[in-house]
Structure 1
Amino acid sequence: MNDAREVVVLRYGHRPGRDDRMTTHVGLTARALGADRVIFPDNAGQSAETVRGVTDRFGGPFAVELRDDQKAIVKSFEGVVVHLTMYGERVQDVEAEVREAVGLDEPEVVGEASPPRDLLVVVGGEKVPWALYERADFNVGVTNQPHSEVAGLAVFLDRLFDGAELDREWEHADRRVVPEATGKTVVDADDVPASGDDDATGTDERGADAGTGERGAEHDDAGERD
């Protein structure tokens, strides 16, 4: 999504079995809300496979990596590091500084915009080392209340991109969801249904496809089962 800079989400820590669904949703949220790449710990292979599958079906570009050197990634990252934590500064107080630091700000004077810089967004698990708090350029909190790290990532990315990620165009998708007030319609990505004809060519809300016999997207589990 980002031509001038790369936005990378790092999932710091993963407990197989216990964190599978949460780690998967960190990746899905990163993809859907504007990041270019997610890095999982090397023991999160199931989550990586799921996110890659969603990208293959619903489009990208979006990359998924498995790495065993989270500490080294943070330490050597050449760009801006944001650590999402309940104890950080309020997102509404620092979002303008973060945007300026990565060159996403709108300058008051033409030609004085900050140069684009890559951004690493660290989403921790149960525990993260104190060194991460010290290394981060910004420790950012969303509400400073206990809640899901996935929710924190979603709010931060939306603030970072100022809503522009919601209008992203997806490339190389096999299918797409048709926005509608009721129903659950999924069509081939190349189809351009005429107005009012979506239900005739796509998957209906029961999952029976009138045109291709495929099951609906609601049956393609984006995450692991509980």
Structure 2
Amino acid sequence: MSTHLGLTARVYGASAFLLCGDNDQAILDSLNDVKERFGGEMEVRHESSPLGFLRNFIAEGGIAVHLTMYGLSYQEVIPELASDKPIVIVVGGAKVGREYFEMCQYNVAVGNQPHSEVAALAAFLERLNDGVSPPEDFTSGKFTIHPSERGKDLREDA
């Protein structure tokens, strides 16, 4: 699921993806491979001290949002978020400890029922960023996908 979270974050405009917990190099390599092949600038890295990172991020003026089915409605929270401050989104499902609920300034739900973390991230970022990233955000890759009504149209860039 971590790779799918990274791919979702990428297409919805995230500037970075931090993998916490086990340092699974295969996940990082997969996301970097997509970036190399299809473009984009999203930083991908492992964070060995997620709580320390979060503490520093908040202390430096960032906003921490934890996606959880127990939180407040994302439709109500997103308009409250300061647009001039960096935002980190914590996603982790059942693995997220109590300290994240307490440390994050916002605990946000896309629905107060069990749901997919990937779907929650997509819904939240789509609303936060007014859609997916435009094609020009992905011009640095080796390939370009051209929309097609039928079939696949993948072209190698010169």
TM-score of the pair, normalised by structure 1: 0.65
Residue equivalent to 1:161? 129
Q: Which of the numbers 24, 38, 41 marks the counterpart of 2:3?
A: 24
Cα drift, residue 75 of structure 1 = 1.4
The separation in 2 between residues aligned to 1:168 and 1:134, in whole angstroms, is: 37
Shift >6 Å, 4+ stretches: none
Matched, 1:71 2:54: no
Residue equivalent to 2:41? 61
Q: Which of the numbers 31, 37, 49 marks the counterpart of 1:51?
A: 31
Aligned-residue Cα RMSD (Å) equals 1.3
Cα drift, residue 44 of structure 1 = 2.0
Choose between structure 1 and 2: higher helix proportion: 2
Contact 1:61 1:171 in 2 (8 A): no
Equivalences, count: 153
Residue equivalent to 2:153? 185
Q: Deviations over 1:38-97 (max 9, x none)?
A: 001252211111000000000011110112101111111120100000100011111111
Q: Which of the numbers 106, 118, 121 marks the counterpart of 2:86?
A: 118
The separation in 2 between residues aligned to 1:126 and 1:162, in whole angstroms, is: 28
Secondary structure of the structure 1 residue equivalent to 2:114 = coil
Q: Which of the numbers 62, 87, 97 marks the counterpart of 1:129?
A: 97
Instruction: Point out where structure 1 has 5 or more consecutive residues left out of the alignment.
Output: 1-21, 104-115, 191-226
Residue equivalent to 1:93? 76
The separation in 2 between residues aligned to 1:73 and 1:171, in whole angstroms, is: 30
TM-score of the pair, normalised by structure 2: 0.91
The separation in 2 between residues aligned to 1:80 and 1:131, in whole angstroms, is: 16
Q: Which of the numbers 15, 20, 37 marks the counterpart of 1:36?
A: 15
Cα drift, residue 168 of structure 1 = 4.2
Contact 2:143 2:155 in 1 (8 A): yes
Q: Deviations over 1:153-173 (max 9, x none)?
A: 00100010112x342411311
Q: Deviations over 1:94-141 (max 9, x none)?
A: 11112xx1x2xxxxxxxxxxxx11111111143212121111111110
The separation in 1 between residues aligned to 2:47 and 2:134, in whole angstroms, is: 31
Secondary structure of the structure 2 residue equivalent to 1:61 = coil
Secondary structure of the structure 1 residue equivalent to 2:37 = helix
Instruction: Point out where structure 2 has 5 or more consecutive residues left out of the alignment.
Output: none
Secondary structure of the structure 2 residue equivalent to 1:86 = strand
The separation in 1 between residues aligned to 2:53 and 2:93, in whole angstroms, is: 16
The separation in 2 between residues aligned to 1:147 and 1:51, in whole angstroms, is: 24
Q: Deviations over 1:196-221 (max 9, x none)?
A: xxxxxxxxxxxxxxxxxxxxxxxxxx
The separation in 2 between residues aligned to 1:43 and 1:125, in whole angstroms, is: 18
Residue equivalent to 1:12? none
Percent sequence identity over aligned pairs? 41
Secondary structure of the structure 1 residue equivalent to 2:148 = coil
Contact 2:68 2:93 in 1 (8 A): no
